């Protein structure tokens, strides 16, 4: 509480930029975790903004009506406040600036967040996602793949999980040797096994090949991976970087595999730009959303100039390439970038979404994120600026993955069990620090922070509320839910994600959502079914045997009238 100078300011205006007549007056409260705005109106509507979601706070020049304060959030919400007294505004600014930039993990919201769960339930909640079970769902371990203890206590690779799946034919010495030849010890290990073709997706960091170095252990490791797919004599190595970047790395003793040294590998660059390019691209995209009354040209030009959709396309193209290699050519793929925790995670997880219908379910996407992102050491705390730190480490890597999934949902509306709201909720929680799942940068760090004892897990919470996140068009027996997705990646297939980036002003809401209407209809159907069944217990009535209609949904309204209009 020591950072809060003024806990309460009255007569604050919350400004609606597009429709000023919708602006409201209320009281602003600062708590240790939230900024709360309570409207003076009859309804006393409350707006809660989590400090850890605040991206920055900006004070605009004081004008006769007061001091404007702009709160920009990491989920792209923007709040415009007008505070009557300049002094109050300065106090709020100083407090919020400090509170939104915690300096150590202990300050994070997840350590004080207490949803009243007893100890036993909390522990159980952390077991909600079980990666061992996930590998066994894929059929691993098998006669060709097994778990290695090589990374026990993280002695081989600090940023990997302690349990790694590798080809059975790879000897311990090969594993150790291969790790030594890979940047930060991130050796090639199994990420996804495709049962239908027995081709696999493995992941690693770049090899320390420089201009001429080689490692027979690493070569044998790749050979073992290739051999673990008995039907193929070939294997792809997908370097997700632009070729030029990969070549530049050779000068620092890193780089990419020399095709002459490895047996039967085919190297493919897919050209996803680095985290710095992506960071500035997203910033430009967000700026487009903040333009006051943009013309269509301003908007389209801004969209093009940001390069954002071009990058989204590059990421999805990488996923499509890998999925095609695995499913159609039956060839195993090793994916890496530089460190193998950003672009590699994007490409592997997207390929998995395309390949395996399970990852297109609510639970499945949780499992996938837990596997390819959390356990494999994606640097959540760095990338999403959980702590006040190096701004150059921040980058919207996960944002891009979620957006690629959203773009797929546009092409395959029946293929996903979850809806857009689920993706947006995930996005928020990746930044919010409310739950412990995404705190820290790798498994070891999370263990050292004793997160499982001190914080709560997001997954069971989302699961309990899954009705809210269900796509009404999803049916397990629908043709779109089966098999491999083959999206079109022509430029015109990519859209601006309005649900994510379109609410710089709170008033730009979507008017009527067909999904919400349908969910309401389905919920009603469920009640009718129940009523029917109840009636049928009265003997006379027959006509039973309805097809089952899975019904989760939330009562929804169809508000019309009164919406934003930029005239």
Residues 6+ apart with CB under 8 A from 149: none
Distance CA 484, CA 319 (A): 12
Site string for another protein, 123-162 (x = CB under 8 A): ----------------------------------------
Residue 37: closest CA among 73, 5, 82 = 82
556 annotated to bind ligand: no
* Choices 51-59, 129-137, 172-180, 288-296; region in contact with another protein by CB under 8 A: 288-296
Q: Which sign does the torsion angle of CA 130, 318, 184, 330 carry?
A: positive
222 token code pair: 């790749």
Question: Smallest distance from the beta carbon of 288 to another protein, in angstroms?
Answer: 9
**Can you tell me whether residue 100 is helix, strand or coil?**
coil
Span 444-483, contacts to another protein by CB under 8 A: 472-473, 475, 478-480
51 token code pair: 């400090």
Distance CA 385, CA 78 (A): 18
Nearer to another protein, 147 or 521 (CB): 521
Question: Smallest distance from the beta carbon of 324 to another protein, in angstroms?
Answer: 18
Nearer to another protein, 345 or 515 (CB): 515
Span 482-511, contacts to another protein by CB under 8 A: 488, 490-496, 498, 501-502, 508, 510-511
42 token code pair: 């009859």
Among 522, 552, 554, 555, binds another protein (CB under 8 A): 522
Span 532-561, contacts to another protein by CB under 8 A: 532, 534-535, 537-538, 540-541, 543, 546-547, 549, 558, 560-561
Catalytic residue of the set 89, 110, 202, 337: 337
129 forms beta bridges with: none
Among 22, 141, 518, 552, binds another protein (CB under 8 A): 518
Question: Smallest distance from the beta carbon of 544 to another protein, in angstroms?
Answer: 10
* Choices 5-13, 102-110, 339-347, 411-419; region in contact with another protein by CB under 8 A: 411-419
Question: Smallest distance from the beta carbon of 71 to another protein, in angstroms?
Answer: 21
Give the CB-side neighbour count of residue 535, counting CA atoms within 13 A.
Answer: 11
* Exposed / middle / buried, residue 552 (Cβ in 10 Å: 0-12, 13-18, 19+): middle
Among 139, 413, 453, 482, binds another protein (CB under 8 A): 413
* Choices 38-46, 290-298, 361-369, 370-378; region in contact with another protein by CB under 8 A: 290-298
Q: Is 247 an interacting residue with respect to another protein (CB under 8 A)?
A: no
Q: Is 562 an interacting residue with respect to another protein (CB under 8 A)?
A: yes
Q: Is 114 an interacting residue with respect to another protein (CB under 8 A)?
A: no
Distance CA 397, CA 403 (A): 10
Number of residues counted as binding another protein (CB under 8 A): 73
**C-alpha of 564 from chain center:** 30
Residue 283: closest CA among 97, 76, 425, 421 = 76
Question: Smallest distance from the beta carbon of 372 to another protein, in angstroms?
Answer: 25
Q: Which sign does the torsion angle of CA 437, 443, 449, 451 carry?
A: positive
Distance CA 142, CA 126 (A): 27
Question: Is 493 a known active-site residue?
Answer: no
Residues 6+ apart with CB under 8 A from 46: 36, 37, 38, 39
203 annotated to bind ligand: no
Q: Is 55 an interacting residue with respect to another protein (CB under 8 A)?
A: no
Span 315-354, contacts to another protein by CB under 8 A: none
Question: Smallest distance from the beta carbon of 195 to another protein, in angstroms?
Answer: 25
Distance CA 371, CA 359 (A): 11
Judge contact between 510 and 498, C-beta under 8 A: yes
Residues taking part in catalysis: 337
Q: From the annotation, which residues make up the binding site for substrate?
A: 274-275, 337-343
């Amino acid at each position: 509480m020591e950072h809060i100078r003024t806990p309460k300011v009255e007569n604050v205006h919350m400004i609606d930029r597009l429709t000023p007549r919708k602006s409201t007056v209320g009281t602003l409260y600062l708590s240790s975790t939230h900024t709360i705005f309570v409207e003076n109106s009859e309804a006393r509507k409350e707006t809660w903004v989590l400090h850890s979601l605040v991206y920055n706070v900006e004070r605009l020049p004081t004008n006769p009506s007061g001091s404007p304060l702009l709160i920009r959030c990491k989920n792209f919400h923007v709040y415009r406040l007008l505070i009557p007294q300049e002094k109050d505004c300065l106090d709020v600014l100083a407090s919020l600036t400090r509170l939104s930039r915690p300096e150590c993990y202990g300050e994070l919201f997840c350590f004080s967040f207490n949803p009243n769960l007893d100890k036993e339930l909390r522990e159980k909640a952390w077991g909600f996602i079980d990666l061992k079970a996930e590998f066994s769902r894929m059929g691993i371990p098998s006669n060709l793949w097994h778990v290695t203890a090589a990374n026990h206590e993280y002695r081989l690779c600090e940023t990997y999980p302690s349990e790694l799946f590798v080809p059975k034919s790879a000897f311990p010495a090969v594993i150790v040797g291969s790790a030594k030849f890979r940047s930060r010890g991130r050796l090639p290990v199994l990420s996804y096994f495709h049962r239908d073709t027995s081709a696999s997706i493995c992941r690693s960091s770049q090899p320390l090949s420089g201009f001429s170095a080689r490692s027979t252990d690493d070569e044998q490791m790749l050979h073992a991976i290739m051999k673990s797919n008995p039907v193929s004599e070939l294997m792809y190595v997908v370097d997700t970087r632009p070729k030029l970047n990969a070549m530049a790395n050779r000068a620092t003793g890193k780089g990419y595999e020399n095709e002459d040294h490895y047996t039967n590998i085919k190297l493919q660059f897919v050209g996803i730009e680095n985290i710095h390019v992506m960071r500035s691209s997203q910033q430009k995209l967000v700026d487009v959303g903040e333009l006051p009354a943009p013309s269509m040209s301003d908007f389209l030009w801004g969209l093009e100039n940001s390069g954002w959709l071009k990058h989204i396309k590059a990421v999805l193209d990488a996923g499509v390439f890998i999925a095609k290699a695995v499913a159609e050519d039956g060839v195993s793929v090793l994916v890496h970038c530089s460190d193998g925790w950003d672009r590699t995670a994007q490409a592997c997880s997207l390929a998995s979404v395309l390949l395996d219908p399970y990852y297109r379910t609510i639970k499945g996407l949780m499992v996938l994120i837990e596997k390819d992102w959390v356990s494999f050491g994606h640097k959540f705390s760095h990338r999403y600026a959980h702590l006040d730190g190096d701004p150059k480490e921040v980058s919207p890597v996960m944002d891009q993955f979620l957006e690629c999934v959203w773009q797929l949902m546009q092409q395959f509306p029946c293929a996903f069990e979850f809806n857009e709201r689920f993706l947006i909720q995930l996005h928020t929680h990746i930044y919010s620090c409310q739950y412990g799942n995404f705190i820290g940068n790798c498994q070891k760090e999370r263990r050292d922070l004793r997160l499982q004892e001190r914080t709560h897990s997001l997954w069971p919470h989302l699961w309990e509320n899954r009705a809210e996140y269900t796509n009404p068009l999803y049916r397990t027996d629908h043709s779109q839910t089966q098999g491999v997705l083959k999206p079109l990646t022509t430029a015109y297939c990519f859209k601006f994600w309005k649900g994510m980036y379109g609410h710089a002003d709170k008033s730009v809401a979507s008017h009527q959502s067909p999904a919400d209407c349908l969910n309401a209809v389905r919920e009603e159907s469920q009640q009718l079914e129940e009523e029917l069944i109840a009636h049928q217990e009265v003997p006379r009535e027959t006509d039973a045997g309805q097809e089952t209609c899975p019904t989760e949904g939330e009562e929804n309204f169809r508000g019309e009238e009164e919406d934003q209009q930029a005239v």
